[in-house]
Structure 1
Amino acid sequence: MPSLHPLLSGFAPIWALTGIGYLVGRTRLLGPHAETVLNRFVFHVAMPAGLFLLISRTPLGRFANPSMLAFMAGTAVATGLGLLAGHLFFRREPGELAIGAMASGYVNSANLGIPVTMQVLGDASFVGPVMLFQILLVTPAVLAVLDGGAAGRRALLTLPLRNPILLAAALGAVVSATGLHLPAELTRSGDLLGGAGVPTALIALGMSLHNRPSADGRSPGDRPLGERPFGDHSSEGRSRRAEVGLTVAVKTLVQPLVALAVAGPLLHLPPHQLLTVVLFSALPTAQNVYTYAREYGQGAVLARDTVLWSTLVSMATLSVISWALGPA
């Protein structure tokens, strides 16, 4: 049975880097446009490099296993509920709906999934299939909605060529499928560049807690905390808190419960696989969601607050799951 301390240690880098980002934003150390520049660096440079190498090294056949069926079922229900809630209760526009749905079901599989599952299971091999599923299926669907709203329906035909995330994923899939071996110099450079993505995204996330984004056409729901504090008692503030709370509840409670129901009673997975699927489904919202939201100016505050609050709540839910389903 894992102790609480090893589980929490996986969260330490997230809070540390987010806190550093907040201090950088508060002191204006990098200037007024640093958050925008850092987000663009992550979206256009670091993240594509990391995704390309990750997918190119991962056999695409790893999709084909029963555990992934349970994980995909949890993701489908969570994202569907996020989409439905945003439409029925909060009247979000299509781009914001896409971000809300993604925030409800897109797990932090890399920089939290790896340390948490290594502590609990001693094995992080499930990270690969989960990342492939999210990168190759979930992300393109969300970016297609975001890009379509920004550029029109015709532009969707050329979306993979214009969007660096999708282009990197597609090229990585081609390399993986064909078994090509990339030069060592290229992979080492890509590893260094891709490794900068997660810490830079967390720094930018922290900066967003203080910085005021410039007026660029964002919806009123994307005003920063400085203008619309979380304790704001206006009807708009209450609506925002309700939306964040509902999204966090779907992400940290509903998604793992659906995965548990499918993996257990329906698929009868053995205990080790059952624990793996439920743990991954209970991981908090990935900071990638905020990166996409900020890049397209859609639902950035919802994404940011969901990342932060789901990360905090998941420290408790992951501990409960490891205690309830882990080996005696």
Structure 2
Amino acid sequence: MPSLHPLLSGFAPIWALIGIGYLVGRSGLLGPHADAVLSRFSFHLAMPAALFLMIARTPLNRFANPSMLAFAAGTALAAGLGLLAAHRFFGRGLASGTIGGMASGYVNSANLGIPVALQVLGDASFVGPVVLFQTLLVTPIVLTVLDTGRAGRRAALTLPVRNPILLAVALGAAVSATGWHPPAELARSCELLGGAGVPAALVALGMSLHGRPATAADTGTGAGTVPGAGADIGAGPGSGAGPGNRRYAEVGVTVVLKTLIQPLAAFAVGAGLLHLPPHQLLTVVLFSALPTAQNVFVYAAQYGHSTALARRSILCSTVVSMATLSLVSWTLGPG
């Protein structure tokens, strides 16, 4: 059973890059719109390159196993409850509420999942199926909702061609299915470009922490939302709290769903319904307890929905998960 110190080493680079981003934003070194530029760079170039190469190199049948059923069940429950809470209790429209659902169930599987899995399990092979599940199933659903709200329902048919993330996923899946191996030059170029995605997203996240007036993207009233869905947060029927308190309450609900409900649901399905062996059960619950991925902030910033919720959910869930991941490894790990 690992101590807390080795687990912290997996979080250190994340906090360091966010901190650097905050200092850069505070100093104005890269200009007032650098965080938006970095987010667009990550969304349009770096992330597609990384996803294409990862999926192209991974057999698609890797995510078809009982452990993934338990993980998918936890994801579906947490994301569904997050979407429901965003709409029912915090007055968000479908598009901005989708960011809340994603923040409640989309795990940081790669840059945190790998070091945590290696430390606790001694094996990071489950990262592949989780990434495939999130990129091949969850991400297309989320981006379709966000893009349809902004561009209109008819545009949904051309979404895979217009959206670089979905295009990369589709091309990677086609390459994987055919067994074709990209040329070494192409693979190396994708590696270099894709390697910049996570650092750029984390630096952009840190820069966005520097205080500035609230925008429509922060409140959830970006293009495609129901008018007033985010700006009136906390002002719905029966609301007795101010907007600030409601925003913190929404982040609290999202973090509880992400760090507590999702792993508990995965445990219930894995242990009670699928009867997974102890090591597989530990693996599923551990990955379900990972914090919200920085991808959520990139998507929120790109589509102009609920950026403040995405940002706070990532930061708070990352802090809380240091305790919940240790608790999972202590309760389910070998003695």
1:211-233: CA deviation from partner (whole Å, max 9, x where unpaired) = 53796x5364579xxxxxxxxx9
Is 1:265 matched up with 2:264? no
Counterpart CA distance in 2 for 1:176 and 1:102 is 26
1:229-271: CA deviation from partner (whole Å, max 9, x where unpaired) = xxxx970000000000000000000000000001112111111
Structure 1 unaligned spans of 5+: 224-232
Is 1:192 matched up with 2:192? yes
Structure 2 unaligned spans of 5+: 223-239
Paired residues, number: 318
Which has the larger displacement, 308-317 or 91-100? 91-100
Contact 1:222 1:302 in 2 (8 A): no
Partner of 1:23 in structure 2? 23
Is 1:253 matched up with 2:260? yes
TM superposition shift of 1:4:
1.1
RMSD between superposed Cα atoms in Å? 1.5
1:8-41: CA deviation from partner (whole Å, max 9, x where unpaired) = 1100001000000000000001011111110000
Contact 1:21 1:206 in 2 (8 A): yes
1:123-172: CA deviation from partner (whole Å, max 9, x where unpaired) = 00000000000001101111111101110001000000000000000000
Partner of 2:204 in structure 1? 204
TM-score (norm 1): 0.95
Aligned counterpart in structure 2 of residue 310 of structure 1, from 304, 317, 327: 317
Counterpart CA distance in 2 for 1:182 and 1:146 is 31
Partner of 1:37 in structure 2? 37
Moved over 6 A (4+): none
Counterpart CA distance in 1 for 2:221 and 2:9 is 31
Partner of 1:227 in structure 2? none
TM-score (norm 2): 0.93
Contact 1:222 1:300 in 2 (8 A): no
Counterpart CA distance in 2 for 1:303 and 1:271 is 33
Partner of 1:243 in structure 2? 250
Residue type at the aligned position of 1:267 = L
Partner of 2:217 in structure 1? 218
Partner of 2:76 in structure 1? 76
Counterpart CA distance in 2 for 1:175 and 1:214 is 43
TM superposition shift of 1:87:
1.1
Percent sequence identity over matched residues? 73
Is 1:281 matched up with 2:288? yes
Secondary structure at 2:291 match in 1: coil
Residue type at the aligned position of 1:303 = A
TM superposition shift of 1:94:
1.3
Counterpart CA distance in 2 for 1:26 and 1:127 is 35
